[in-house]
Every structure is written in structure tokens, then in C-alpha cells.
Structure 1
Amino acid sequence: MTCLSDGILRAQLDGELSEVESLEVQNHLTACADCRRRAEAIAAEAERVRAALSALDPLPSEAPGEARTAFARFRTEHAEPRAEAPSFADRLFARPLRPVWGAVAVLAVVVAFLSFAPARGWGQKILAMLRVQKIAVVTIDPELLSGRDSGESGKMIGKLLSDNLVVTLEPGKPQPVSSAEEASQLAGFRVRALSGLSDQPQFSVEGEGAFHMTLNRDRLHAILGEAGRPDIQLPDALDGATIAVHVPKAVFVRYGNCVEPKRGGPPPDSPPSGPEAQGCTFLAEVPSPTVSVPPDLNIAQVAEAGLQLAGMSADAAHAFCQTVDWTSTLVIPIPRDATSYQTVEVDGVQGTLINRPQGGRRPAGYNLLWVKNGVIHSL
């Protein structure tokens, strides 16, 4: 008997399956104790997120923290225990593309999170699954980020995160496991491994994580003014919007001479000791996150603002956003003239291959991203 994937179980919980599919799942759950246990765990987690959403309003005595301080604390808390392998978000967005566009990498996360902020009215909150089904790439010009260097731009973009960020579930340090089967059992989804490599894979599983944060539209406009872009418009519904994000357990598979970075030291792929230089290959796998989805926030308008801040013209940002289904697409900005990309066939689906040229002591590298059966892969 083949067990059901977490994606199917989540779809059953959301009522997204057809009547025939739902009946098949119910019959399987009746006969399979393991799938029943996992379905109950997924339902319990959904209920915990609902409970967290109901408690997001701050008390009168709770003054929101300064955005940069909250963001720095969040990054410190998550980066500190991850000496064993870089986080999935780091591998997917930031570190593979350093140092060319560190600021733009932060923007990718900001746009993704802002795109799923719930509406201001608590009575209208709903819980839904963001199921990433495809990946889109957009080219931008980092040099247009207000003429600032990448460090200053990164700090400026970091301000766009919430005035009130609360980590509700710590992922903890990745746990080493001995096989793909053990990783699958611990992570709750079928873990894939590469074939045709002479090196033995090293598996580790990172725990699930969750956080929520609240946005202040006036503060965001002030930040845009500091960045020299007071012309960028944000929707009124963004004010007071609260984002609740739950990231499932992730699996890292390492091949080759993967040197663990020292705490407080440079990231794993900073020159001259990056993974490619050491003959190291990383494969990260994580199911799509759970987020609170707004019923009426203009997602495309928020994304347009983020892309304009990243250097796109208003017309180009508007045209691009009209082509994207923001409920199912992961959008990754890459710097013009610094990186190339192409659509390729991988694992029976379409993927995106991002090539990074050699720079200084950093060797050439790549990131291959694809989505299959509700799981995002980054190689």
C-alpha cells in the first residue's frame, strides 16, 4: 500500500479534492494507521495556526519593536543553530547569489511574504495552503537601488519587514539521519536523493518553523522615502496586515567535501571556501509553506512595489505582475548581466536553472529549482 503524501492530506483537509478523490483518501485513511496519524498531525497543526492567528492583536501595553531590531533578532535566532547546513531560504535566495545581489535576495523573501498578508479585519481571516506549483524568474538592475551599496540597500530593504515580528516555532538545529528512508519518516514526506554521484549522501532534517508579523503602511512609505522612492504606492489594505507563516520540516542532502562553517564566520559558500570550491553539492527539499491568505488584499500591487524598489520601472513591474498567478508561483529576482537562467526539464517537470558566473575567487556555480508533488527542491 502506497502512503498518501502530505500534500494530498493537506488538500483533503482544505476540501480541495474532488468527490471521487476525497472518497479514495477516506478509504485509504480507514485502512492505513500511519496516514491517519499524519493526517491528524496536519489537522492539529492547522488548528494551532488558527489559534495563533486569533491571538495576534497586541495588547495595549505591547509596543511594537523597531523593524530592523526585530529582523536582526529573527535572523540571529535562525542562523545561530544552523552550522550543519544553510537554511533552505538561504540556499534558495541569498547565499548562492552573494555578493552580487544580497539586497535583492532579501527583497525576494519580502515580496513573497508581503504577497500573502491577511486583510486587516480579524473576522475575515481564513487559513489556506499556499501550494507553490511553479517558479518564475524576473531580471532586475540592482544598481538602481537608490545608488546605495549592497550592504546599505540590504538594511534598507530589511526595514520593509514587520514592526512586530514574533517567532512562534523554532526549527532548531538540523538533525543528522542515516538514510533517505529515515529522513522521509522524520520529515513526513518522501525524500529524494541524487543518482549517479560517487559520494555518499549525508542527510539532515530541520524542524518546522513559524512566525507572524504585522505591517505599518505609514512606516513603509517613510522607508520608501528614505530610499529615494516616495513615488512607489502601497495599497491601503496593507496597513495593519498580519502575516502568519508556517514552514514544514526541511531536508538537506549533502554530497562531497562539505565543510561546516564556524559560528559567526562567513557563510558556507563565501569565497574562497564555497561549496563549489570544496566539491560540495547541496540538495534542499521542503514542502510548500502554510500561510494566512487575505481575501481582498491586492497582491499584484504589493509585488509591483517590491519590484520597483528592486530597480524595475513601474510599467515593467506592472506588466510582469499581470502575468503571474501569485497564489501558486514562487518569483525569484536575479540581477541583469550577473546571472543567466533557462527553463529545463528535470524530474519529469519543468525547472529553472540559474547559472552564476565566476567572480573573484568564487568559482562558477548554479542553482536548479523545481517543484514536484508539492515539494520545492533547490540543488
Structure 2
Amino acid sequence: MDDEFLYSLHADPPAQFAERLRARLARREETVSWTGDGWRLTWRIGGAAAAAMLLGLLFTFPTVRASAQAFLDLFRVINFTAVPVEPARISRLSGDDLGLRYLIGEQVEMLRDPGKARRFATPELAGAAAGIGVRLPEVVPAGLVMTQIEVEGERAMRVTGDTFRLRQLLDTLEIRDLSVPETLNGQTATLRVLPIVRVTYGNGGEQMDFFQGQSPEVSLPAGVDLAELGEIALRILGLERGEAHRLAQAIDWRSTLIVPVPAHTTAFRQVEVQGNRGLLMRAVSTSQGREVASNMLVWSEGGYVYGMAGRVGMLPMLEMANSLR
């Protein structure tokens, strides 16, 4: 994948569903900042895009192979690529009316529900519950102390292809220049997100969250055209036709998670974290009439994914990440 190229790119629903959805989408305008909740928002959007990609991936898998799935391709996230998306689009995709359920309707089967996040007294106890060895930074900005430790349980879902529902989604989003292959129905793919440990640092006012967990996994029938279906996901995120096609061809979809970032209000750049490539992002939002900046850093190492999000400066955040032990 050419990073320089990537970073230079900026039950059936009711019959009234599409019209009602368009009206609601037109009213939704928000600015996104990255606090701990912002991190989960990004993962929800990324998960929705991934699910849409999975759904689309199945379109190109010939029906004749439906009974011959002797093996699966398994994809694990090791890279992150920022994709600038209009803030209104991010709000639309994360809203209740256009969440994962409406992306692929009843074709999503929840195999494992994470349930409510559980709190733990120590990092060691949280790590034991999540099945990982929790790493902590040796360098923490002055004034910040550990205030909370939580574990979000494993989640897993199975997606069954349905061309009708995807066409409905594309039509609702007014994407009418994409063809949807007819070879989807009955094909399945799975998405698995293993337990995530969240360590919160605060000082009574500001807060920063540090997340860690094993890399998400995607399993789907072998032989599919990842780039073609990745393009569908990018179009759902709001990219124009030519831009989505170029980016889809450049991304290594077997190991890359796309991270939607708010266009115009976000700066992002590639950084190094303990010898691994990471993505550092800065978003500016408006709170009580004043601009507030928040930062987010994501990277992976040795089969694990890490993230920091909050109102800590870029340099202190990088120093924290590089001090993990």
C-alpha cells in the first residue's frame, strides 16, 4: 500500500423507511470530538463500514462456490488508514436510523453480545478477564492519574449477504452509480472483536482513555475481490466515485482498518510508536462557544491494537505510547 498516496487523498423495513430516513439524515449535523466515547464512535463506524464491506465482498463470490467453502480467508488488523469524511456523514452513519442494523437489516446475526462493560480494581484483574497482559505507560502527563479500569466483552456477528438490502441502503444514501452483483444471497462472513481493556486517566476535569485488545478478525469465503467491495464501503462513507476507486485499489484490505476522520476539522499524520506505524489525529470541536482540541492515536503491535483518545497534547500522548511496558 502506498501511504503517501493515501495520505494525499482528502424483516424488511417499513415502506416509508427510505423517505423517513432521508428526512432525518438531512436534520443531523454534528461535530465529532475524540473522547473515550469518540473512540467507540470510530469503532462503531469502522465496524459498520467493515460489515458493509463484508456484505459487498460476498457479492463477487460466485454462487456456484456456495457449497464448496472448504476454507476461509482470515484478516487481522495490523494497519490503519485515515479516510477524511464529512462530519455530517459520520453523524448519519452513527445514528440510530442508519446504524449497523439498517446497513444490513436482519441479515446480521449477533453471535456474541459484549454486554455491559465491567469495572476492575487493578489492571491485572482486567487483563485476566480480557485474556491479555495489560500494558501501561511509564510516562504519564503531570496531574493525570488512573481513575478507572473497564473491560468491554467480546462481540461477534455473522453477516449474510442480501443484495436487496444493500441496494436499499445505497439508494437511501443517493448512491446510484454502483452496480450490485446478484451473487450475494446466502453467502456469510463473520466479524469478531475480542475483549477490550479501557484504562482511564484524569485530573478531575480532563480525561484520557487508553484502549488495548487483540486485533479484530474477519472471516469470509476465499477468493473474493476485496478492493471492489472495499470501494462500496468507501462510497457508503461518502467518498466520490473516482476517489473511492483509487483508494480502494491502494489499500491492503487484508490487514487494514479504515478510520473515518472528520474532514476540515481534523489533522492526521503517520507516526512511529515503538517501531510500529501509527496514526495520530487531532480534531477540533466547539463546546460552549469555544474551540476544544482532542487527539487520538491508534497503532498495532504483535497482534494487538492500541488506542489513546482525549484532550492530551499530541507530544505527551506520543510520549505515553512510546513508554508502554
Q: TM-score, normalised by structure 2?
A: 0.71
- What is the CA distance between 1:186 and its match in structure 2? 2.3
**Which ranges of structure 2 fall in alignment gaps of 5 or more residues?**
1-10, 18-33, 309-325
Q: State yes or no: 1:112 paired with 2:29.
A: no
Alignment of 1:357-376 (within 5 A): 357-361=284-288, 363-376=292-305
- 2:200 maps to which of 251, 254, 275: 254
Matched, 1:323 2:250: yes
* 1:127, distance to aligned residue in structure 2 (A): 4.3
Change (3 A) 1:123 1:87: farther
- What is the aligned residue count? 267
Asked if residue 206 in structure 1 is aligned to residue 152 in structure 2, the reply is yes
Q: Is the 8 A contact 2:193 2:215 kept in 1?
A: yes
The alpha carbon displacement at 1:246 in A equals 2.2
Q: What is the CA distance between 1:110 and its match in structure 2?
A: 2.4
Q: Give the structure 2 partner of residue 232 of structure 1.
A: 178
Amino acid at match of 2:287: G
What amino acid maps onto 1:210 in structure 2? A
- In structure 2, relative to structure 1, the CA distance for the partners of 1:170 and 1:141 (3 Å cut) is closer
2:123·2:134 contact (CA, 8 Å) conserved in 1?
yes
Q: Displacement, 1:257?
A: 5.1
1:212/1:256 CA distance change after superposition, 3 Å:
same
TM-superposition CA deviations, 1:246-277 (whole Å, max 9, x none):
2211111011158xxxxxxxxxxxxxxxxxxx
Structure 1 residues 185 and 124: CA distance shift in structure 2, 3 A: same
Matches within 5 A, 1:82-121: 91-92=38-39, 94=41, 107-116=45-54, 119=61, 121=66
Q: SS at the partner of 1:123? A: coil
- Aligned counterparts of 1:220 and 1:205: Cα–Cα separation in 2: 33
Task: Name the residue aligned to 1:196.
Answer: 139
Specify every segment of 5 or more residues in structure 1 that has no aligned partner in the other structure, as ranges.
1-63, 70-85, 96-104, 259-277
**What amino acid sits opposite 2:237 in the alignment?**
A
Name the SS of the counterpart of 2:41 in structure 1.
Answer: helix
1:283 partner letter? F
Instruction: Give matches, 1:14-163, under 5 Å.
Output: 64=11, 66=13, 91-92=38-39, 94=41, 107-116=45-54, 119=61, 121-124=66-69, 126-141=71-86, 150-151=91-92, 154=95, 155-156=97-98, 158=100, 159-163=102-106
- 1:125–1:293 contact (8 Å) kept in structure 2: no
Describe the SS at the equivalent of 2:243: helix
For the residues of structure 1 that align with 2:153 and 2:74, how far apart are their CA atoms?
Answer: 19
Residues in 2 aligned to 1:138 and 1:111: alpha-carbon distance in whole angstroms: 12
Q: Is the counterpart of residue 222 in structure 1 residue 168 in structure 2?
A: yes
State the 1:308 CA deviation: 2.2
Match of 1:295 in 2: 222
Deviations 1:134-166 (A, max 9, x none): 1111223456x6xxx945894346532243322
**Shift in CA distance, 293/87, structure 1 to aligned 2, threshold 3 Å:** farther
Who is 2:110 aligned against? Answer: 167
Query: Residue 214 of structure 1 aligns to which amino acid in structure 2?
Result: T
Post-superposition shift, 1:66? 4.2
Asked if the contact 1:237–1:297 (Cα under 8 Å) also holds between the matched residues in 2, the reply is: no
Offset, 1:125: 5.7
Distance 1:171 1:348 in 2: 32
Could you say which structure has the larger radius of gyration? 1
SS for the counterpart of 1:316 is helix
Secondary structure of 2:287's aligned partner: coil
Distance 2:187 2:48 in 1: 14
2:53·2:232 contact (CA, 8 Å) conserved in 1?
no
State the SS of the aligned residue for 1:212: strand
Preserved CA contact (<8 Å) 1:136 1:331: yes
- Conserved? CA contact 1:129–1:289, under 8 Å: no
Letter in 1 for 2:199: V
* CA deviations over 1:6-27 (Å, ceiling 9, x no partner): xxxxxxxxxxxxxxxxxxxxxx
State percent identity of aligned pairs.
27
Secondary structure (helix, strand or coil) at the match of 1:369 reads: strand
Relative contact order: is structure 1 or structure 2 higher (C-alpha 8 Å, sep ≥ 6)?
2
Distance 1:222 1:360 in 2: 36
Q: Partners in 2 of 1:114 and 1:294 — Cα distance?
A: 15
Deviation track 1:66-124 (CA, whole Å, cap 9, x = no partner) reads: 49x9xxxxxxxxxxxxxxxx998x643526xxxxxxxxx76532221233455561431
Q: 1:359 to 1:167 in 2, by over 3 A?
A: same
When structure 1 is superposed on structure 2, of 184-193 and 119-128 the one drifting more is 119-128
TM-score with structure 1 setting the length: 0.62
**Any idea what the Cα deviations from partners look like across 1:267-323, whole Å, max 9, x if unmatched?**
xxxxxxxxxxx3111111121123322213222112212222333221111111111
Q: Tell me the distance in 2 between the aligned counterparts of 1:66 and 1:138.
A: 30
Residues in 2 aligned to 1:330 and 1:360: alpha-carbon distance in whole angstroms: 30
Does the 8 A contact of 2:50 with 2:233 survive in 1? no
Is the strand fraction higher in 1 or 2? Answer: 2
Name the SS of the counterpart of 1:307 in structure 2. helix
RMSD: 3.2
Letter in 2 for 1:232: L
CA contact (8 A) 1:66 1:163 kept: no
**Match in the other structure for 1:46:** none
Quote the residue 1:313 is aligned against: 240
